[in-house]
Amino acid sequence: MTETIISSLTKEVRIGFEQPFVVIGERINPTGRKILANEMKHGDFSRVEADALAQVAAGAHMLDVNAGIPLADEPAILARAIKLVQSVTDVPLSIDSSIVAALEAGLAVYQGKALVNSVTGEDEQLERVLPLVAKHGAAVVAISNDETGISEDPNVRFEVARKIVERAADHGIASNDVVVDPLVMPIGAVGSAGKQVMHLLRRLREELQVNTTCGASNVSFGLPNRNGVNSAFLTMAIAAGMTSAISNPLHAEVMQAVHAADVIMGNDPNCANWISKYRESAPADAERGRRKRRRRPAG
């Protein structure tokens, strides 16, 4: 049974086929967040701290930490962000950068077993990132593209994933420490993106027997009511075998979908987590329940 164990000094998270789905909070990322980028660049990490606490309170099992700010000292900023986040929360982290020196700086200060996010199937990247992952005894996210880009053919993406898993093994990294990201395209641009990913997730689980993750919010890019699309996508991907995702736990609708998917997959024994979280809801009709709650303060 494939399990990827990620840890902080005091807490362990298991990503696995028979485990509750793992939500990796996506918020600590300056991409597209101008204010946060500017603050981080100038040494103000108060928003990073607030985002860390809010995401854990909302139920994130892990947090992704990214410091990709143009023209800034990314290795130093990433290391500082990781130290700060580890000082205020106990969830394990995903160290997120496309710059190898930043991954290195992050790993140097991280306490526990980190998830390195990420390595692609490009040979040069593999030869630089994998030794680092092996040296620190970390796990790694494998993104299924290579020098030729992202193939629209899910079977080509499968072969890239297989290549990364094999190359990781050459560096002494077991396949259960490789978490494959099958890459999710925006469905508004590529109508077959959903079916492609589900096909790929099934093959990754059944043939490569690896854990999987993805940047889930990408699927709804450009569409209205993105949480509605994201929630359905997550549950459907879980049905196809996905075991974790980098997503926004601050959206209650998305977290509810994940908790319900745990119930349907049989990974919430006796529905105990569901019942404890939602017993306040109207038993027959959540819609009606919401209307009631809204009405109460007014009446």
Give the footprint of a copy of itself on this chain (CB under 8 A): 187-188, 191-195, 198, 219, 223-229, 231-233, 235-240, 250-253, 256-257, 259-261, 263-266, 269-271, 274-275, 278-287, 289-290, 293-294, 297-298
Burial of 147 (C-beta count, 10 Å sphere; 0-12/13-18/19+): exposed
Burial of 285 (C-beta count, 10 Å sphere; 0-12/13-18/19+): exposed
Tokens of 55: 């995401």
The three-state secondary structure class of 73 is coil
Tell me whether residue 31 or residue 225 sits nearer to a copy of itself (CB atom): 225
Residue 230's contacts (CB-CB under 8 Å, 6 or more residues apart) are 216, 217, 219, 220, 247, 251, 254, 257
Q: How far is the CB of 229 from a copy of itself (least distance, A)?
A: 5
Q: How far is the CB of 231 from a copy of itself (least distance, A)?
A: 7
CA 92 – CA 111 distance, rounded (Å): 9
Q: How far is the CB of 216 from a copy of itself (least distance, A)?
A: 11
Count of CA atoms in the C-beta half-sphere (13 A) of 95? 39
Tell me whether residue 34 or residue 294 sits nearer to a copy of itself (CB atom): 294
Tokens of 46: 């108060």
Tell me whether residue 146 or residue 181 sits nearer to a copy of itself (CB atom): 181
Q: How far is the CB of 171 from a copy of itself (least distance, A)?
A: 35
Q: How far is the CB of 219 from a copy of itself (least distance, A)?
A: 7
Q: How far is the CB of 66 from a copy of itself (least distance, A)?
A: 19
The 10 Å Cβ neighbour count of residue 215 is 17
Tell me whether residue 59 or residue 112 sits nearer to a copy of itself (CB atom): 59
8 A C-beta contact, residue 105 and residue 78: yes
